[in-house]
């Protein structure tokens, strides 16, 4: 059996030396966790700003409001999916597909009186066909009629949190860019591996694989679409002339 390592890899050592280095790193990891706890505590103490509860959305049953998207719960987490209107599925945002693909089981949010929903920046009929092609079962709305009010020029990736008090709605937090990594577990898991995310910006040892500038896209499609295509699902968004 060939036991040679044919690519750059961590130094080989014995278990005692390995454990000593890991124990030292663990101290740093715990500091990182506690810093995250402190940031979350500060986040819970942010003020909030009122937004129009009657901001119009389009859902499966037609026009609804932002207040309706709470589904009666106290809080709402909303991801504003980017949309390239008139473009085929293969040309839709790979980053949004990457992050939204990973929000699956909602019961744990619901147990804390929190609703999760996608507020797509495009028209409902096209975008919900994309949702169905991807096999996502999260609540889906078009926020196109209210983007000027709800996004107020922010973006391109926006994850926002809202609090309901009776029939009033308040925005309590929003983030964009790498802040939306809160939605995914793939990066978190990759960060635990020897080669990390394998992206050019990472601080990795010389020779480490770092040739994946856009891990959310494989070939000419968002990466997650390929399994759906192989399964025979239609990616027709009704945009063909």
| Domain-embedded: residue 207 | no
DSSP 8-state code for residue 12: P
Q: What are phi and psi of 95, to 5 degrees?
A: -65, -45
Identify the CATH number of the domain in which residue 143 sits: 3.40.30.10
What the block records as the tokens of 182 is 């809160």
| Domain-embedded: residue 159 | yes
Burial (CB count <10 Å: 0-12, 13-18, 19+), residue 239: middle
| Domain-embedded: residue 21 | no
| Domain-embedded: residue 198 | no
Q: Cα–Cα distances in Å, from 211 out to 11, 74, 79, 90, 201? A: 22, 44, 29, 22, 10
| Domain-embedded: residue 114 | yes
| Domain-embedded: residue 166 | yes
Host domain of residue 141: 49-183+217-230
Per the listing, tokens 């997650």 go with: 224
pLDDT value of position 1: 42
| Domain-embedded: residue 91 | yes
Domain count, the chain: 1
| Domain-embedded: residue 65 | yes
Would you write out the chain's pLDDT as a tens digit for each of its 241 residues?
A: 445 567 899 999 999 999 999 999 999 999 999 999 999 999 999 999 999 999 999 999 999 999 999 999 999 999 999 999 999 999 999 999 999 999 999 999 999 999 999 999 999 999 999 999 999 999 999 999 999 999 999 988 899 999 999 999 999 999 999 999 999 999 999 999 999 999 999 999 999 999 877 778 899 999 999 999 999 999 999 986 5
Q: Pairing state of beta strands 75-80 and 168-175?
A: unpaired
């Amino acid at each position: 059996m060939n036991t040679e390592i044919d690519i750059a890899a961590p130094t080989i050592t014995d278990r005692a030396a390995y454990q000593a280095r890991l124990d030292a790193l663990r101290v740093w990891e715990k500091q990182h966790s506690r810093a995250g706890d402190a940031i979350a505590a500060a986040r819970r103490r942010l003020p909030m700003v009122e937004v129009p509860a009657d901001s119009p959305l389009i859902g499966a049953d037609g026009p609804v409001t932002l207040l309706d998207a709470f589904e009666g719960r106290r809080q709402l987490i909303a991801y504003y999916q980017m949309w390239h209107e008139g473009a085929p599925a293969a040309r839709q945002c790979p980053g949004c597909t990457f992050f939204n693909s990973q929000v699956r089981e909602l019961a744990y949010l619901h147990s804390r009186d929190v609703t999760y929903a996608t507020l797509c920046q495009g028209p409902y009929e096209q975008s919900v066909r994309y949702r169905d092609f991807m096999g996502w079962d999260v609540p889906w709305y078009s926020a196109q009629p209210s983007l000027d009010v709800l996004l107020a020029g922010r973006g391109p990736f926006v994850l926002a949190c809202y609090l309901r008090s009776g029939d009033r709605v308040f925005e309590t937090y929003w983030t964009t860019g790498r802040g939306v990594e809160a939605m995914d577990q793939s990066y978190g898991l990759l960060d635990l591996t020897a080669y990390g995310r394998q992206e050019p910006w990472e601080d990795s040892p010389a020779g480490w694989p770092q040739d994946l500038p856009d891990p959310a896209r494989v070939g000419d499609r968002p990466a997650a679409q390929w399994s759906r295509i192989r399964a025979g699902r239609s990616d027709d968004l009704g945009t063909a002339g």
